[in-house]
Amino acid sequence: MLIETLGAARDLGRLKEIAGVLIRHGLGDTVRRLGLADRLARAGHALQWEHAADLARIEPPVQVRLAMEELGPAFVKLGQILAGRADLFGPEWIAEFGKLHSHVPPLPLDALRPQLREDLGGEPEAIFARFDPEPLAGASIAQVHRAQLKDGTEVIVKIRRPGIREVIEADLRLLGRLAALAEAEWPALKPYRPQLLVREFARSLRRELDLAAECRHAERIGVNMAPLGFIVIPRVHWAHTGERINVQDFIGGVPGDDLARLTPQAGFDRTLLAQRGAQAVLKMIVQDGFFHADPHPGNVFYLDGNRVAFIDFGMVGRLSERRREELLNLLLGLVERNPQAVADVLLDWTGDDHGVNLSQLETEIETFVDQYHGAPLAELNLGQMLADVTAILREHHLGLPSDLALLIKAFISLEGMGRGLDPGFHMTTEALPLLRQVVRARYRPKVIAARAWQTLRRSLAVAEQLPHDLSRLLRNARRGRVHVGIELAHLKRVGDQIDRAANRLTMALVIAALIIGSSIVMTVKGGPTLFGLPAFGFLGFSAAAVGALWLVRAMWRSGRDSDEDAGG
């Protein structure tokens, strides 16, 4: 049944509209293969096929882009996000997705008044000293008006379009079901995980609908940027800010796409601006793990004193500490031309390597990075290198996690902006000092000690949980809920590896126990001593040190054996 497969009857009208747009733009075959035509017909909704071939001669990327533009905000936003997925789409698709813009005429102020009165608690002319009825800018989700607070502060008022949440929620429901249907009909799409892609997109778009969340993002980044001094983030006026409206300081500098005004006569140093913009975004990504995910020229302004202002924090990226560690290793590997480091990180990122020739993939990555060996640092285009590496992953049908795809898109945009300001700008020159600074900080004794303590706590937690896990495993086995799959190829080698891993894990637990027990013994007064220390505590620490050396040697030899096996 259509309603069971594609949602409630309330969405059928929109589904028919989507199918009609796809047909008009030459994508009728997609409609047929998904079974939409037959299912809509059974539900009493006939489609018009007379114009199905009108745009059939246009290239598929153009067809899809035109269809997305007509389908509205959710589809346009999806296309804009896909423009950053060079790991999934080829250059011709990325170029078309990059052209997506919402051509939505602004609403007249009278259409916004009921919502404004509800959110502001009065007429905008009464709340503000001045409120411009003509919008300053407009988009599919919100439009912006200039205003002035009672204290004379110039501000912008961003207003969400009335009813837009309901429209987008309906489209997100349909997108989710269409992704499931596409994945079922086209098994070749499974490596690209369309359902996961749509779920992540839905979370991102719902956050963007919350205009108060955008302000929280701005304030968080503002705090992080404060030490730099030359980065400006608009101040939020929370008294007038909520989910459907936000009020921030007006930024009146030179827009990022008006480079002709950045002249020495006007007091601007374009080389310095490029360096400062790069330093800011690199700090967001590498140090803070919370970054502006869409730093295109429309969201950047240049101010007097060679300051840089960022606006519009609706789309942000987040990186966990582990991700930042991996990113650091990747960037250092690219900058220092270490192909093995790059290959290791990318193989960890792709995760699902089922059906992939890992040896061939690793060789391609190493060959790609190795071609830059000996090249001057200033000649490396870091953004292009990242784009080329993701292209290699795409050829092997491997996709990156969404947070990393967003990051790489921001990186490439940033380098393009830097070169627009200064043709001699090189991201590697700006990145390397910060990367090395972060590496030095990572190996400070205090940080190492904290990391070792966390590792010990996790090991003890695993050891404590082990009896419970074994009990649950046996209980499930008695109930017939345990399924065992055996792959005979290389079984002996796998068994040996498991045996060695178990031995090392056991030794690690013994070492942890010795350290904890010896620490307790050291605090107990009395008893025999050795070198002025409690004898049993000293012997315990000594045994732990010997065990740790054995463990390090075993891991090192295991790594060498793996390399030899791979080489053989």
Which are the contacts of 265, defined by CB distance < 8 A and separation ≥ 6? Answer: none
**Is 496 an annotated catalytic residue?**
no
| Calpha distance 356→362 (Å, rounded) | 11
Sign of torsion over alpha carbons 111, 112, 117, 123? negative
Residue entry with tokens 């075993």: 554
| Calpha distance 175→194 (Å, rounded) | 10
Angle at 428 between CA 424 and CA 434, to 5 degrees: 125
- Kindly give the residue spans of alpha helices, DSSP state H, lying in 106-241: 109-120, 124-127, 164-185, 194-209, 211-225
CB of 235 within 8 A of CB of 215?
no
Cα pseudo-dihedral 43, 49, 54, 60, rounded to 10? 40
Single-letter residue type at 58: I
CB of 482 within 8 A of CB of 476?
yes
**Count of Cβ atoms closer than 10 Å to residue 437 Cβ:** 12
3-state helix, strand, coil in the chain (%, to 5): 65, 10, 30
Residue entry with tokens 């001699």: 424
Burial 344-366 (b: 16+ CB within 10 A, else e): bbbbebbeeeeebeeeebbebbe
CB of 97 within 8 A of CB of 80?
yes
- Kindly give the residue spans of alpha helices, DSSP state H, lying in 25-90: 28-33, 36-42, 60-71, 73-82
Angle at 524 between CA 521 and CA 527, to 5 degrees: 90
* Active-site residue, selected from the candidate residues 294, 344, 563, 565: 294
Which are the contacts of 342, defined by CB distance < 8 A and separation ≥ 6? Answer: 330, 333, 334, 365, 366, 369, 389
Which are the contacts of 376, defined by CB distance < 8 A and separation ≥ 6? Answer: none
Chain centre distance of CA 527: 58
| Calpha distance 232→223 (Å, rounded) | 10
| Calpha distance 434→249 (Å, rounded) | 31
Q: What is the number of residues in the chain?
A: 568
| Calpha distance 302→277 (Å, rounded) | 10
CB of 270 within 8 A of CB of 254?
no
CB of 190 within 8 A of CB of 183?
yes
CB of 64 within 8 A of CB of 99?
no
CB of 157 within 8 A of CB of 247?
yes
Q: Which residues are catalytic?
A: 294
